[in-house]
Amino acid sequence: MAFKIIASQCTQCGACEFECPSGAIKFKGEAYVIDPQKCTECKDAFDAQQCASVCPVEMTCVPA
């Protein structure tokens, strides 16, 4: 399981990239994307998904 970023809602603020404990979020081409191979949904690291927690736009970092 992994999270994904709804690109059409993302303001490209970049906050999520630095909070991800798995280094799964990168700016690629024209949008921030989550690598589903790297995303652990923050299991074992945090109680809540950090990307979703810091994202200023509701429902932009969501379960894939």
DSSP 8-state symbol, 3: E
1-30: which residues touch ligand SF4 (CB under 6 A)?
3, 5, 10-16, 19-22, 24-25
**Smallest gap from residue 4 Cβ to ligand SF4 (A):** 8
Q: Which residues does 31 contact at the CB level (< 8 Å), separation at least 6?
A: 5, 7, 10, 12
Tell me, what amino acid is at 27? F
**Smallest gap from residue 26 Cβ to ligand SF4 (A):** 10
Q: Do the Cβ atoms of 60 and 49 come closer than 8 Å?
A: no
Cβ closer to ligand SF4: 5 or 29? 5
**Smallest gap from residue 19 Cβ to ligand SF4 (A):** 6
